[in-house]
Amino acid sequence: MRVLVTGGAGYVGSHTVVALAEAGHTAVIADNFSNSSPAVLDRLERISGVSVECHEVELTDAEATERLFHAEPIDAVIHCAGLKAVGESVSAPREYYRNNLVSTLTVADAMEKNGVRRLVFSSSATVYGAAHSSPLGEDSWPLESSNPYGQTKVIIERMLSDIAAANPGWKVALLRYFNPVGAHASGLIGEDPRGVPNNLMPFVAQVAVGRRDRLTVHGDDYDTVDGTGERDYIHVVDLAAGHVAALDHLDSMTADVRAFNLGTGASTSVLQLLRAFERASGRTVPYVVGPRREGDLAVAYADPSRARTELGWMAARSLEEMCADTWRWQSANPSGMSSRLDS
Ligand code: WQD
Q: How confident is residue 339, by pLDDT bands cut at 50, 70 and 90?
A: low
Q: How confident is residue 343, by pLDDT bands cut at 50, 70 and 90?
A: very low
Residues 88-107, buried b or exposed e (16+ Cβ, 10 A)? bbeebeeebbebbbebbbbb
**Residues forming the active site:** 149
Q: Would you say 27 and 5 are in contact if contact means Cβ atoms under 8 Å apart?
A: yes
Residues of the chain with pLDDT > 90, as a percent, come to 95
Pocket test for ligand 1, best of 96, 156, 199 (most atoms within 8 A of CB): 199
Residue identifier of the C-alpha nearest atom 21 of ligand 1:
179
| Mean pLDDT of all residues in 293-313 | 96
Residue 209 domain-assigned (yes or no): no
Residue 224 domain-assigned (yes or no): no
Gyration radius of the chain's alpha carbons? 19
* CA distances, 126 to each of 33, 62, 68, 87, 153 (Å): 24, 28, 30, 13, 8
For residue 150, the enclosing domain spans 2-181+233-262
Q: Would you say 215 and 277 are in contact if contact means Cβ atoms under 8 Å apart?
A: no
Residue 101 domain-assigned (yes or no): yes
Kindly report, residue by residue over 145-198, the tens digit of the pLDDT.
Answer: 989 999 999 999 999 999 999 999 999 999 999 999 999 999 999 999 889 999
Residue 319 domain-assigned (yes or no): no
Kindly report, residue by residue over 209-219, the tens digit of the pLDDT.
Answer: 999 999 999 99
Q: How many domains does the chain have?
A: 1
DSSP characters for 1-55? -EEEEETTTSHHHHHHHHHHHHTT-EEEEEE--SSS-THHHHHHHHHHSSPPEEE
Residue 27 domain-assigned (yes or no): yes
The contacts of residue 275 (CB under 8 Å, 6+ apart) are none
Ligand 1, residue 300: give the atom nearest the CA.
20
Residue 279 domain-assigned (yes or no): no
- Helix or strand (DSSP H, E) at 132: none
* Residue of 298, 236, 302 lying closest to 269 (CA atoms): 298
Pocket test for ligand 1, best of 296, 322, 323 (most atoms within 8 A of CB): 296
Q: How confident is residue 340, by pLDDT bands cut at 50, 70 and 90?
A: very low
Residue identifier of the C-alpha nearest atom 31 of ligand 1:
200
Residue identifier of the C-alpha nearest atom 27 of ligand 1:
199
Whether 342 has a pLDDT exceeding 90, the answer reads: no
What pTM value is reported for the model? 0.97
| Mean pLDDT of all residues in 320-340 | 90
Ligand 1, residue 295: give the atom nearest the CA.
19
Residue 288 domain-assigned (yes or no): no
Q: Would you say 100 and 152 are in contact if contact means Cβ atoms under 8 Å apart?
A: yes
**Residues near ligand 1 (Cβ within 6 A):** 84, 86, 124, 126, 177, 179, 198-200, 203, 215-218, 229, 231, 270, 293, 296
CATH of the domain at 22: 3.40.50.720
* Strand extents, DSSP E, 148-205: 171-177, 179-181
The conformation of residue 133, written as its DSSP 8-state character, comes to P
